[in-house]
């Protein structure tokens, strides 16, 4: 159920859906997705689908994790990445294999505690977590080479643009509660170049801190 062969099948599927970055695919082969969810759902971990992780939140569909990670890295390797919405920790764990340092913020304390213990279990010591509101970014650690939001605001928070390094890339779903456009925004000095990737469906990025 959770064997390497099952994981390989998922990787083949991602490839057939257009994921080309071999480093991203290798990271997704290596990081076991089943430990990022409750035991009752673990048998479905290698299906290409989003799954509930409690507190009304979900672990994203593997295809979307791959697509967003690929978009984030499409300009080359990155040193520091900020993630908004740690959730289960899966996306952060994939990033941890691909960039130097991952900073991830989550508003639900219980999810963050679980995610942190998974990073420890996998020996991912380049992930730093913070229990805070993603609308504030992570000021002390800014600027970031990349920012990835896995919860959707109605519009791009200005703070996140400000916390991007020159040349940095922001991957973010933007829209209402049900459907959003996944955007790739690249900072060039004080200019922001925007590309629309595809339609997605994320949980909302909530206001009001914790
Ligand atoms: N990246 C996650 C999926 C996250 S689901 C994974 O790989 O499992 C979205 C997460 O964003 C939820 O856990 C939710 O609690 C969190 N979230 C929503 N609004 C937030 C905000 N304003 N600040 C921080 N986290 C937020």
Give start and end residues of each alpha helix (H) in 3-89: 4-16, 22-30, 62-73
Q: How far apart are CA 46 and CA 61, in angstroms?
A: 10
On whether residue 208 sits in a domain, the answer given is no
On whether residue 77 sits in a domain, the answer given is yes
- Structural domain of residue 143, as residue ranges? 61-200
Does the pLDDT value for residue 29 go beyond 90?
yes
CATH of the domain at 195: 3.40.50.150
- How far apart are the CA of 152 and the centre of ligand 1, in A? 9
Please list, in sequence order, all residues whose beta carbon lies within 8 angstroms of the beta carbon of residue 96, skipping any fewer than 6 positions away: 102, 119, 124, 126, 127
Q: How far apart are CA 27 and CA 22, in angstroms?
A: 9
Q: Answer yes or no: 43 catalytic.
A: no
Give the pLDDT confidence of 180-208 residue by residue, as tens digits: 999 999 999 999 999 999 999 999 999 86
* pLDDT value at residue 3: 77
Tally the domains of the chain.
1
On whether residue 9 sits in a domain, the answer given is no
For residue 115, which atom of ligand 1 is closest to its CA? 8
Does the pLDDT value for residue 4 go beyond 90?
no
On whether residue 38 sits in a domain, the answer given is no
Grade residue 210 by pLDDT with cuts at 50, 70 and 90. Answer: very low
Spell out which residues line ligand 1, taking CB within 6 angstroms: 57-60, 84-85, 87-88, 90-91, 105-108, 111, 133-135, 150-151, 203, 205-206
Q: Which of 3, 16, 43, 60 is catalytic?
A: 60
Q: How far apart are CA 75 and CA 167, in angstroms?
A: 9
On whether residue 207 sits in a domain, the answer given is no
User: What does the pLDDT average to over 14-39?
Assistant: 96
Does the pLDDT value for residue 132 go beyond 80?
yes
Q: How far apart are CA 162 and CA 164, in angstroms?
A: 6
User: What does the pLDDT average to over 162-186?
Assistant: 97
On whether residue 51 sits in a domain, the answer given is no
| Residue with CA at minimum distance from ligand 1 atom 19 | 205
Q: Are 146 and 170 in contact (CB under 8 A)?
A: yes
Give the pair of three-digit tokens for residue 15. Answer: 């490839």
Percent residues over pLDDT 70 in the chain = 98
Looking at every residue in the chain, the average pLDDT score rounds to 96
Does the pLDDT value for residue 98 go beyond 80?
yes
- Which H or E element spans position 115? helix 109-121
On whether residue 81 sits in a domain, the answer given is yes
């Amino acid at each position: 159920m959770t064997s390497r062969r099952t994981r390989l099948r998922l990787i083949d599927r991602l490839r057939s859906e257009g994921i080309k970055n071999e480093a991203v695919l290798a990271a997704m082969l290596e990081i076991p997705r089943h430990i990022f969810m409750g035991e009752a759902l673990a048998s479905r971990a290698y299906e290409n689908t989003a799954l509930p992780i409690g507190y009304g939140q979900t672990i994203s569909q593997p295809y979307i994790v791959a697509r967003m990670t690929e978009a984030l890295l499409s300009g080359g390797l990155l040193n520091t990445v900020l993630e908004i919405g740690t959730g289960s920790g899966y996306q952060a764990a994939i990033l941890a294999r691909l960039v130097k340092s991952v900073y991830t913020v989550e508003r639900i304390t219980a999810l963050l505690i679980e995610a942190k213990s998974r990073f420890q279990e996998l020996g991912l010591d380049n992930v730093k977590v913070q229990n805070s509101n993603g609308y504030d970014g992570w000021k002390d650690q800014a600027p970031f080479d990349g920012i990835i939001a896995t919860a959707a605001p109605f519009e791009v928070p200005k703070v996140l643009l400000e916390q991007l390094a020159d040349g940095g890339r922001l991957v973010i779903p933007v829209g209402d509660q049900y459907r959003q456009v996944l955007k790739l925004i690249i900072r060039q000095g004080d200019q922001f170049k925007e590309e629309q990737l595809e339609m997605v469906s994320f949980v909302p990025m909530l206001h009001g801190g914790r």
